[in-house]
Amino acid sequence: MEKLAAIFISSFIIGLSGALMPGPVLTVAITETTRRGFWAGPLIVLGHAILEVTLLVLLILGFADLIKKPGLLGVVGIGGGAVLFWMSFDMLRGIRHLRLDLSGGKSAWGGPVTAGVLTSLANPYWIIWWATIGLGYVIVSMQFGFVGVAVFFAGHILSDLAWYSAVSLFVSRGKRYISDRIYRGIIGTCAVMLIFFGIYFGVTGIRYFI
């Protein structure tokens, strides 16, 4: 039990340290929360979790060697950069006509769950994390069978849920103080951030082929 508790606590702390870093998931969480309210954050984490469960299963089945190949990481980086550019374009093209609306209308990328999947796939360092730190945790936790893997994943995903729920709560509770002008500024800032992330990830992907 002590070892399982250590796996849970350490995976939560390490996962939280990654979640706290600014990135495309945080950017889209803020954007979606201004559109949909508090539940955008948890739903984005749901999309993120669905993707991570899939990858976790593949790791257990022996997919680890493949995701370490530079060619695949390069493709992920370039493709991820392209996805972030597409998201940014969708956000910017109609920014002049945006109004603050939390009625739950459809977002540019199909909703927060889809956004959670896309922003995770768009980040090559998500793959790298799982190919290194995540793989190490899987190997250790598999010593305790399914329970060990479940404990590791629970600690990891709860760190994401805690952080993005807090972000969504802060943004949604502050909506009464956000005018349409401030709202457009938030969306514009998020879109610009996605451009920089897209450039960074794209260049990182190209470097794998040089």
What are the boundaries of each domain within the chain?
2-207
The beta-carbon contacts of 102-110 under 8 Å, at least 24 apart in sequence, are 102/34, 102/35, 102/36, 102/37, 102/172, 102/175, 104/35, 104/36, 104/37, 105/35, 107/32, 107/35, 107/36, 109/28
Least confident of 26-40, 63-77, 147-161, 176-190: 63-77
Give mean pLDDT, residues 178-200: 80
The Cα 100–Cα 97 span in angstroms is: 10
Structure tokens at 3: 């070892």
Using a 10 angstrom Cβ sphere, with 0-12 exposed, 13-18 middle and 19 or more buried, the burial of residue 34 is buried
Residue 96 has pLDDT above 90, yes or no: no
Residues with Cβ within 8 Å of residue 159, at least 6 apart in sequence: 11, 12, 13, 14, 15, 16, 18, 19
DSSP conformational letter for 134: I
**Is the distance from CB of 34 to CB of 185 less than 8 angstroms?**
no
The Cα 116–Cα 151 span in angstroms is: 22
pTM (2 decimals)?
Answer: 0.72
Per-residue pLDDT band at 155 (split at 50, 70, 90): very high
Calculate the average pLDDT of the chain. Answer: 80
Residues with Cβ within 8 Å of residue 94, at least 6 apart in sequence: none
CA angle, 119 then 36 then 43, to 5°: 45
Share of the chain above pLDDT 90, in %: 13
